[in-house]
Protein backbone atom coordinates (compact mmCIF):
# COMPACT_ATOMS: atom_id res chain seq x y z
CA UNK A 1 0.00 0.00 0.00
CA UNK A 2 1.39 3.40 -0.93
CA UNK A 3 1.95 6.16 1.60
CA UNK A 4 -0.64 8.28 -0.17
CA UNK A 5 -3.34 5.68 0.32
CA UNK A 6 -2.51 5.36 4.01
CA UNK A 7 -2.50 9.11 4.64
CA UNK A 8 -6.27 9.63 5.17
CA UNK A 9 -6.37 6.85 7.74
CA UNK A 10 -3.43 8.29 9.62
CA UNK A 11 -5.00 11.72 9.62
CA UNK A 12 -8.27 10.30 10.89
CA UNK A 13 -6.50 8.44 13.70
CA UNK A 14 -4.51 11.54 14.64
CA UNK A 15 -7.73 13.52 14.85
CA UNK A 16 -9.22 10.89 17.13
CA UNK A 17 -6.18 10.81 19.39
CA UNK A 18 -5.46 14.53 19.52
CA UNK A 19 -8.91 15.98 19.03
CA UNK A 20 -11.09 14.20 21.55
CA UNK A 21 -9.49 15.65 24.72
CA UNK A 22 -10.57 19.18 23.85
CA UNK A 23 -14.22 18.21 23.50
CA UNK A 24 -14.92 18.25 27.28
CA UNK A 25 -13.22 21.64 27.57
CA UNK A 26 -15.36 22.97 24.74
CA UNK A 27 -18.50 21.64 26.40
CA UNK A 28 -17.54 23.30 29.69
CA UNK A 29 -16.81 26.58 27.95
CA UNK A 30 -20.15 26.49 26.17
CA UNK A 31 -21.87 25.84 29.50
CA UNK A 32 -20.03 28.66 31.28
CA UNK A 33 -20.92 31.37 28.78
CA UNK A 34 -24.69 31.25 29.47
CA UNK A 35 -24.04 31.22 33.23
CA UNK A 36 -22.09 34.48 33.10
CA UNK A 37 -24.62 35.92 30.71
CA UNK A 38 -27.39 35.23 33.23
CA UNK A 39 -25.55 36.83 36.17
CA UNK A 40 -27.23 40.10 37.19
CA UNK A 41 -25.13 43.26 37.03
CA UNK A 42 -23.53 44.40 40.28
CA UNK A 43 -25.84 46.62 42.30
CA UNK A 44 -24.86 50.15 43.13
CA UNK A 45 -21.76 52.10 42.24
CA UNK A 46 -18.19 51.06 42.89
CA UNK A 47 -16.98 52.95 45.97
CA UNK A 48 -13.42 51.66 45.74
CA UNK A 49 -10.67 54.24 45.62
CA UNK A 50 -8.85 56.97 47.53
CA UNK A 51 -11.03 59.70 48.99
CA UNK A 52 -10.04 63.08 50.43
CA UNK A 53 -12.16 64.99 52.97
CA UNK A 54 -13.96 68.20 52.04
CA UNK A 55 -14.11 71.18 54.40
CA UNK A 56 -16.81 73.32 52.80
CA UNK A 57 -19.02 72.61 55.81
CA UNK A 58 -18.34 72.82 59.56
CA UNK A 59 -14.63 73.49 59.01
CA UNK A 60 -13.95 74.87 62.52
CA UNK A 61 -15.44 71.77 64.12
CA UNK A 62 -13.61 69.32 61.88
CA UNK A 63 -10.12 70.85 61.91
CA UNK A 64 -9.31 72.79 65.12
CA UNK A 65 -12.28 71.34 66.98
CA UNK A 66 -15.52 72.81 68.34
CA UNK A 67 -15.65 75.41 71.05
CA UNK A 68 -16.08 74.25 74.63
CA UNK A 69 -19.76 74.26 75.51
CA UNK A 70 -20.98 74.44 71.90
CA UNK A 71 -23.70 71.80 71.69
CA UNK A 72 -25.89 73.59 69.16
CA UNK A 73 -28.18 71.22 67.28
CA UNK A 74 -27.38 68.17 69.39
CA UNK A 75 -30.14 66.38 71.34
CA UNK A 76 -28.46 65.98 74.72
CA UNK A 77 -29.71 65.31 78.22
CA UNK A 78 -28.34 66.66 81.48
CA UNK A 79 -25.86 63.79 81.84
CA UNK A 80 -24.39 64.48 78.39
CA UNK A 81 -24.22 68.20 79.15
CA UNK A 82 -22.39 67.50 82.41
CA UNK A 83 -19.99 65.24 80.54
CA UNK A 84 -19.33 67.98 78.00
CA UNK A 85 -18.98 70.75 80.58
CA UNK A 86 -16.49 68.61 82.52
CA UNK A 87 -14.39 67.73 79.47
CA UNK A 88 -10.84 69.05 79.30
CA UNK A 89 -8.78 68.97 76.10
CA UNK A 90 -5.66 68.23 78.17
CA UNK A 91 -6.95 64.65 78.44
CA UNK A 92 -5.49 64.10 74.98
CA UNK A 93 -1.99 64.62 76.36
CA UNK A 94 -2.24 61.50 78.52
CA UNK A 95 -0.45 58.46 77.04
CA UNK A 96 -3.54 56.26 77.27
CA UNK A 97 -5.45 58.73 75.07
CA UNK A 98 -2.80 59.57 72.48
CA UNK A 99 -3.21 56.36 70.48
CA UNK A 100 -6.99 56.21 70.74
CA UNK A 101 -8.53 56.14 67.25
CA UNK A 102 -11.76 57.79 66.27
CA UNK A 103 -14.66 55.32 66.32
CA UNK A 104 -16.01 54.34 62.93
CA UNK A 105 -19.02 56.65 63.23
CA UNK A 106 -16.78 59.69 63.74
CA UNK A 107 -13.68 59.03 61.63
CA UNK A 108 -15.40 59.72 58.26
CA UNK A 109 -16.00 63.25 59.55
CA UNK A 110 -12.34 63.76 60.38
CA UNK A 111 -9.62 65.43 58.28
CA UNK A 112 -7.83 62.21 57.25
CA UNK A 113 -7.81 60.52 53.85
CA UNK A 114 -9.89 57.40 53.28
CA UNK A 115 -9.23 54.27 51.23
CA UNK A 116 -12.02 51.85 50.25
CA UNK A 117 -11.44 48.49 48.60
CA UNK A 118 -13.48 45.37 47.86
CA UNK A 119 -13.01 41.76 48.94
CA UNK A 120 -14.22 39.35 46.27
CA UNK A 121 -14.81 35.62 46.63
CA UNK A 122 -12.66 34.08 43.88
CA UNK A 123 -14.79 31.03 42.93
CA UNK A 124 -18.13 32.86 42.82
CA UNK A 125 -16.85 36.38 42.09
CA UNK A 126 -19.37 37.67 44.61
CA UNK A 127 -18.71 40.68 46.82
CA UNK A 128 -17.92 39.56 50.37
CA UNK A 129 -17.05 42.85 52.04
CA UNK A 130 -15.84 46.39 51.71
CA UNK A 131 -12.78 47.43 53.70
CA UNK A 132 -11.83 50.95 54.74
CA UNK A 133 -8.58 52.48 55.95
CA UNK A 134 -8.30 55.93 57.52
CA UNK A 135 -4.86 57.53 57.37
CA UNK A 136 -4.99 59.01 60.88
CA UNK A 137 -4.23 56.28 63.45
CA UNK A 138 -4.67 53.77 60.57
CA UNK A 139 -7.93 52.12 61.71
CA UNK A 140 -9.24 49.48 59.31
CA UNK A 141 -12.86 48.49 59.14
CA UNK A 142 -14.75 45.62 57.50
CA UNK A 143 -18.27 46.05 56.13
CA UNK A 144 -19.69 42.61 55.41
CA UNK A 145 -21.86 42.38 52.29
CA UNK A 146 -22.62 38.64 52.33
CA UNK A 147 -25.74 38.77 54.48
CA UNK A 148 -24.23 37.46 57.72
CA UNK A 149 -26.08 38.39 60.95
CA UNK A 150 -24.76 40.64 63.68
CA UNK A 151 -23.24 38.83 66.68
CA UNK A 152 -24.94 38.59 70.10
CA UNK A 153 -24.83 41.55 72.45
CA UNK A 154 -22.21 39.95 74.71
CA UNK A 155 -19.55 39.92 71.97
CA UNK A 156 -16.74 42.41 72.62
CA UNK A 157 -17.23 45.98 71.44
CA UNK A 158 -14.47 47.64 69.41
CA UNK A 159 -13.66 51.06 67.98
CA UNK A 160 -14.82 49.98 64.52
CA UNK A 161 -17.76 47.86 65.67
CA UNK A 162 -19.43 45.18 63.56
CA UNK A 163 -20.78 46.44 60.24
CA UNK A 164 -22.99 44.92 57.57
CA UNK A 165 -24.02 46.58 54.34
CA UNK A 166 -26.57 46.28 51.58
CA UNK A 167 -27.29 48.13 48.38
CA UNK A 168 -30.52 50.12 48.13
CA UNK A 169 -30.45 51.19 44.51
CA UNK A 170 -27.28 53.22 44.08
CA UNK A 171 -26.96 53.87 47.84
CA UNK A 172 -24.92 51.67 50.17
CA UNK A 173 -26.60 51.39 53.58
CA UNK A 174 -24.40 50.25 56.47
CA UNK A 175 -25.57 49.15 59.92
CA UNK A 176 -23.01 49.10 62.73
CA UNK A 177 -23.33 47.70 66.26
CA UNK A 178 -20.87 46.63 68.98
CA UNK A 179 -19.11 50.00 69.18
CA UNK A 180 -17.12 51.11 72.18
CA UNK A 181 -18.29 54.26 73.89
CA UNK A 182 -17.28 57.17 71.68
CA UNK A 183 -18.10 60.79 70.97
CA UNK A 184 -20.41 62.74 68.72
CA UNK A 185 -18.47 65.98 68.96
CA UNK A 186 -14.88 66.58 70.05
CA UNK A 187 -15.80 68.69 73.04
CA UNK A 188 -17.01 65.97 75.36
CA UNK A 189 -20.46 65.07 73.98
CA UNK A 190 -20.52 61.27 74.33
CA UNK A 191 -22.08 58.44 72.40
CA UNK A 192 -22.83 55.29 74.41
CA UNK A 193 -21.80 51.74 73.57
CA UNK A 194 -25.48 50.85 73.12
CA UNK A 195 -25.87 52.92 69.95
CA UNK A 196 -26.70 51.56 66.52
CA UNK A 197 -25.22 53.56 63.66
CA UNK A 198 -26.70 53.64 60.17
CA UNK A 199 -24.71 55.12 57.30
CA UNK A 200 -25.74 55.93 53.74
CA UNK A 201 -23.07 56.29 51.06
CA UNK A 202 -23.90 57.69 47.64
CA UNK A 203 -21.38 58.29 44.89
CA UNK A 204 -21.89 61.20 42.51
CA UNK A 205 -19.08 60.78 40.00
CA UNK A 206 -15.92 61.92 41.75
CA UNK A 207 -17.75 62.90 44.95
CA UNK A 208 -18.89 60.63 47.77
CA UNK A 209 -21.70 61.72 50.10
CA UNK A 210 -21.64 60.11 53.55
CA UNK A 211 -24.69 60.41 55.80
CA UNK A 212 -24.41 59.17 59.40
CA UNK A 213 -27.41 58.47 61.62
CA UNK A 214 -26.76 57.60 65.28
CA UNK A 215 -29.56 55.89 67.17
CA UNK A 216 -28.50 55.98 70.82
CA UNK A 217 -31.10 54.78 73.36
CA UNK A 218 -29.30 56.75 76.06
CA UNK A 219 -29.90 60.05 74.25
CA UNK A 220 -33.29 61.77 74.51
CA UNK A 221 -33.48 61.99 70.74
CA UNK A 222 -32.59 58.74 69.00
CA UNK A 223 -31.43 60.20 65.68
CA UNK A 224 -28.48 62.43 64.91
CA UNK A 225 -27.76 63.19 61.25
CA UNK A 226 -24.61 64.40 59.59
CA UNK A 227 -23.68 64.75 55.97
CA UNK A 228 -20.20 65.11 54.57
CA UNK A 229 -18.82 64.93 51.07
CA UNK A 230 -15.48 63.48 50.05
CA UNK A 231 -13.80 63.82 46.67
CA UNK A 232 -11.56 61.43 44.80
CA UNK A 233 -7.89 62.01 45.58
CA UNK A 234 -7.12 61.58 41.88
CA UNK A 235 -9.66 64.20 40.87
CA UNK A 236 -8.16 67.37 39.36
CA UNK A 237 -10.77 69.28 41.38
CA UNK A 238 -9.95 67.65 44.72
CA UNK A 239 -8.42 70.89 46.01
CA UNK A 240 -11.29 73.09 44.88
CA UNK A 241 -14.07 74.24 47.17
CA UNK A 242 -17.52 72.81 46.68
CA UNK A 243 -20.46 75.20 46.58
CA UNK A 244 -22.25 75.44 49.88
CA UNK A 245 -25.42 73.30 50.02
CA UNK A 246 -28.80 74.95 50.09
CA UNK A 247 -29.87 76.04 53.55
CA UNK A 248 -32.72 73.53 53.71
CA UNK A 249 -30.37 70.67 52.84
CA UNK A 250 -27.78 71.86 55.33
CA UNK A 251 -30.30 71.86 58.16
CA UNK A 252 -31.70 68.50 57.13
CA UNK A 253 -28.27 66.89 57.09
CA UNK A 254 -26.41 68.58 59.93
CA UNK A 255 -29.11 69.07 62.52
CA UNK A 256 -30.67 66.41 64.66
CA UNK A 257 -34.33 65.57 64.28
CA UNK A 258 -36.39 64.44 67.26
End-to-end C-alpha distance for the chain, whole angstroms? 100
**Any residues with CB less than 8 A from the CB of 33 and at least 6 apart, and which?**
none
Count CB neighbours of 229 within 10 A.
18
Least confident of 41-55, 153-167, 198-212, 238-252: 238-252
Mean pLDDT is highest, among 6-10, 221-225, 241-245, for 221-225
Give yes or no for a contact between 113 and 135, defined as CB atoms under 8 angstroms apart.
Answer: yes
Residue 130's pLDDT is 98
Rounded distance between C-alpha atoms, residue 63 and residue 127, angstroms: 35
Mean pLDDT is highest, among 35-39, 117-121, 220-224, for 117-121
Instruction: Tell me the CB-side half-sphere exposure of residue 192, using CA atoms within 13 A.
Output: 13
Residue 154's pLDDT is 96
Mean pLDDT is highest, among 20-24, 44-48, 177-181, for 177-181
Rounded distance between C-alpha atoms, residue 227 and residue 234, angstroms: 22
Rounded distance between C-alpha atoms, residue 195 and residue 179, angstroms: 7
User: What pTM does this model have?
Assistant: 0.74
Instruction: Tell me the CB-side half-sphere exposure of residue 54, using CA atoms within 13 A.
Output: 22
pLDDT in tens, 123-150: 999 999 999 999 888 999 999 999 999 9
| Closest C-alpha to 172, from 215, 127, 136 | 127
Amino acid sequence: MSNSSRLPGLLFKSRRRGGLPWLPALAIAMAIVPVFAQMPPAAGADLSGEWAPRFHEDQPERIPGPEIGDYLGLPINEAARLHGDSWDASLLTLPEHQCKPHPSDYSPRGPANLRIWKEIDTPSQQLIAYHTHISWQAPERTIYMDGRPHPPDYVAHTWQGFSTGKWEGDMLTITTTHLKMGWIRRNGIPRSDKATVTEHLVRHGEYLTWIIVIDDPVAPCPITCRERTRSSVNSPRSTESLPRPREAERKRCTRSTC
